[in-house]
Amino acid sequence: MTDYSAASPEEFDDAADGADQKIQEPRLWCDDGWTARIIKNDDDDGWAVAMIKDGEREPALIGPWTMGRDKKNPKPLDPTAFITLVKTATEFVRRHEQQLYAMLHKTITVNDGAATISVTLDIIPDDDFPYAVLTAHDEDREQLAQVKVAATFKLSQSSASAWVANGYRKPH
């Protein structure tokens, strides 16, 4: 594992500050909204590459980097490697965002006998006071009810059905 702390925060701030400029150096490339920086892997004699999205302080992805021919220094970055790194880092960020969205937003459909109702739970991950919003919509996407609930509220088929059956009163 790469010790990311070996690279100074200023190095990554510099990368974020240079977001609009194109840099193509053997160990630093900035282009297309990304910065690739080759860093020393302190766990062994190898090297790693950190991919930083413009405007971010922390890398989106850190991975191993190939040694050069001398088996001592890193292989220099090149256009093909940079494009591959950008694609990999972009996909990694996209999957992380999808996973976070799926954790924070859930939807269940229930029937109350007369209509089909869509019940959603949106968790608001506030550092101090996290909470969730439970919302019901009818088949025409008209909002029927909305209540604030604890962030720990578990949305399930039975909890959604019970909320609808209880006239949309705030669940306990």
Residue at 89 is within a domain = no
108, 72: one domain: no
Residue at 84 is within a domain = no
Residue at 33 is within a domain = yes
pLDDT band at 3 (very low <50, low <70, confident <90, very high): very low
32, 70: one domain: yes
Residue at 54 is within a domain = yes
More confident residue, 6 or 116: 116
Instruction: Name the burial class of residue 95, with classes exposed (0-12), middle (13-18) and buried (19+) by CB atoms within 10 angstroms of its CB.
Output: exposed
> What total of structural domains would you count in the chain?
2
157-169 per-position pLDDT tens digit: 999 999 999 999 9
Contact 38, 65 (CB under 8 A): yes
91-146 per-position pLDDT tens digit: 999 999 999 999 999 999 999 888 999 999 999 998 899 999 999 999 999 999 99
- Among 48, 46, 49, 50, which Cα is nearest to 72's? 46
Domain range enclosing 151: 104-165
Residue at 85 is within a domain = no
Residue at 83 is within a domain = no
Beta partners for residue 135, in sequence order: 120, 146
Question: Average pLDDT for residues 74-98, to the nearest whole number?
Answer: 95
**Cα 49 to Cα 62: distance, rounded to the nearest angstrom:** 6
Instruction: Name the burial class of residue 120, with classes exposed (0-12), middle (13-18) and buried (19+) by CB atoms within 10 angstroms of its CB.
Output: middle
Residue at 172 is within a domain = no
120, 56: one domain: no
Instruction: Name the burial class of residue 19, with classes exposed (0-12), middle (13-18) and buried (19+) by CB atoms within 10 angstroms of its CB.
Output: middle
149, 114: one domain: yes
Residue at 82 is within a domain = no
